[in-house]
Amino acid sequence: MGHDCSFLSALELDGEVSFEAAARESHAADWVAAEAGLGVTPDAVVWPASTADVSAVLSAADERGVPVTPYAAGTSIEGNAVPLFEGVSMDMTRMDEVLEVRPADLQMDVEPGVMGDVVEETAADHGLFFPPMPSSSNLSTIGGMIVNDAAGQRTVRYGEVADWVLGLEVVLADGTVVETGSRAVKTSSGYNLTDVVVGSEGTLGVVTRATLELAGRPEQIRGGRAVFASMDDAAEAVADVVRSGVDVAKLELVDPLAAEMADDHLDTGLPDGATIFVEFHANHGVDEEIAFFETVLDAHDAETFEIAGDDRMEEIWRARDELAFAVQGYDPDLEPRHPGDVTVPISRYPDIVRHAKDLADEHDLLLPCFGHAGDGNVHYAALIDPDDPDAEARAEAVYDGIVERAIEWGGTATGEHGIGMGKRRFLELEHGADGVEAMRALKLALDPNDTLNPGKIFPETADGGRVDRPER
């Protein structure tokens, strides 16, 4: 064991503690870390049942210099939940209650372990929805979405998770419980602690409750897809839709390779061209907005365009919604590696997609690309033959080449999955040494002993040690 965690047994918790190998091993990795063999087994797993539990564990661990890494669904892709320096994996999935719905305020209070689809269903019971919900709503918790500042298909119209979190209850590293924000939708009272914690990947505090803002379900919803002769045409059309101010609620791009994979998987006979998936939300006038959208499609030579209401929308969108599984199952001899996403200013969107495809060709790799195109976001994953000795290195070169170019063009290394372990090496390239130093100052201000999720976000040090650990 890396750390003596026997102190956990002496705490009187409402929840549970386990030192069993099975429990520990099941908390070693997230999706990508598991595939890449980058998991690290924690010394113990705690399932807190209350804020008091979280506070007791953090306070005791902090005193002893034992790292604590929050864990939830384990579906992150940058190693965000891997307990890199062992210690305690704090599994939040048993704090999974919807605490209160206030429909008259369009608000909901939830515990962090509530799954995304439970948030959706609960909101839907009141005619409401949580606009920034990621596509992985049935695979990830609201707590995970908050600490990664996740986003989804509807972000192009409604914004990201941070925009819909009004306040948090957060336990700091020393066990102090802080309430951030308020139930007001607008405040300029003191520092914005909410947005400091949102996106901090469990390195600044553990979220134990969140107040979410909700929206009313629009009266008119239509979904459609358009297929283009070339990827360039499709990407240019995306940039033009955004520039023109067409009011789209979703705007996704799927490249011909990914479209082919989706078609193989679903067997729907979808044409294998570059495809834009789109959704419209309105109380009134949705048909006129669709007509406006079509004028942009025409200018970019869309080959086909189909649009539908509730009856057939799901069918039209299935190829996009199940794409991740399609990529996963495409070829049993190939393994997806180095999945990731970047986001660029919209005028650079055609360029970054082209760059990604060119890099893949250059390195002789299959690289399906798709993403929240309306935000300038592209997701990708390389499919490699594990018997090919340098395929892994080529996949990494493609991954790095995409990220570096995105940053060069004013974009970001990660649109919605955080930095985790996977993108630490780009933090300084994106934010500069002084930007990273300012972030480190925040980290040490709230977690001076580097107890919370050490080794994440910040660049690895030369000695491989805990990167944020201050001199003592």
Please report, as residue ranges, which positions from 96 to 115 form the binding site for its own copies (by CB under 8 A). Answer: 102-107
Q: Does 162 bind its own copies (CB under 8 A)?
A: yes
Residue 106 and residue 126: Cα distance in Å, rounded? Answer: 9
Residue 378 and residue 274: Cα distance in Å, rounded? Answer: 14
Closest-CA residue to 64 (of 5, 113, 116): 5
Written as one letter, the residue type at 438 is A
Written as one letter, the residue type at 469 is R
In the complex, the smallest distance separating the C-beta of residue 180 from its own copies, rounded to whole angstroms, is 7
Tokens of 141: 């918790």
Tokens of 246: 């067409």
Which range in 15-23, 65-73, 240-248, 387-395 contacts its own copies by CB under 8 A? 240-248
Which range in 11-19, 281-289, 386-394, 460-468 contacts its own copies by CB under 8 A? 281-289
Q: Does 178 bind its own copies (CB under 8 A)?
A: yes
DSSP letter string, 227-290: EESSHHHHHHHHHHHHHHT---SEEEEE-HHHHHHHHHHH------SEEEEEEEEESS-HHHHH
In the complex, the smallest distance separating the C-beta of residue 205 from its own copies, rounded to whole angstroms, is 9
Task: Identify the residue among 22, 441, 464, 471 touching its own copies (CB under 8 A).
Answer: 441
Task: Identify the residue among 184, 229, 299, 393 touching its own copies (CB under 8 A).
Answer: 184
Task: Identify the residue among 386, 435, 465, 470 touching its own copies (CB under 8 A).
Answer: 435
In the complex, the smallest distance separating the C-beta of residue 332 from its own copies, rounded to whole angstroms, is 33
Scan residues 374-403 and list those touching its own copies (CB under 8 A).
375-377
In the complex, the smallest distance separating the C-beta of residue 429 from its own copies, rounded to whole angstroms, is 10
Q: Does 445 bind its own copies (CB under 8 A)?
A: yes
Q: What is the Cα 50 distance to its own chain's centre?
A: 25
234 or 344, CB closer to its own copies? 344
- The SS3 assignment for 82 reads coil
Q: Does 186 bind its own copies (CB under 8 A)?
A: yes
Q: Are 87 and 69 in contact (CB under 8 A)?
A: yes
- Cα angle at 130 between 126 and 135, to 5 degrees? 125
Scan residues 302-361 and list those touching its own copies (CB under 8 A).
343-347
> Which ranges of 300-390 does DSSP label H, i.e. alpha helix?
310-321, 323-329, 349-362
Task: Identify the residue among 21, 37, 189, 267 touching its own copies (CB under 8 A).
Answer: 189
> What single DSSP character describes residue 139?
T
Q: Does 444 bind its own copies (CB under 8 A)?
A: yes
In the complex, the smallest distance separating the C-beta of residue 434 from its own copies, rounded to whole angstroms, is 5
Q: Does 285 bind its own copies (CB under 8 A)?
A: yes
Q: Does 209 bind its own copies (CB under 8 A)?
A: no
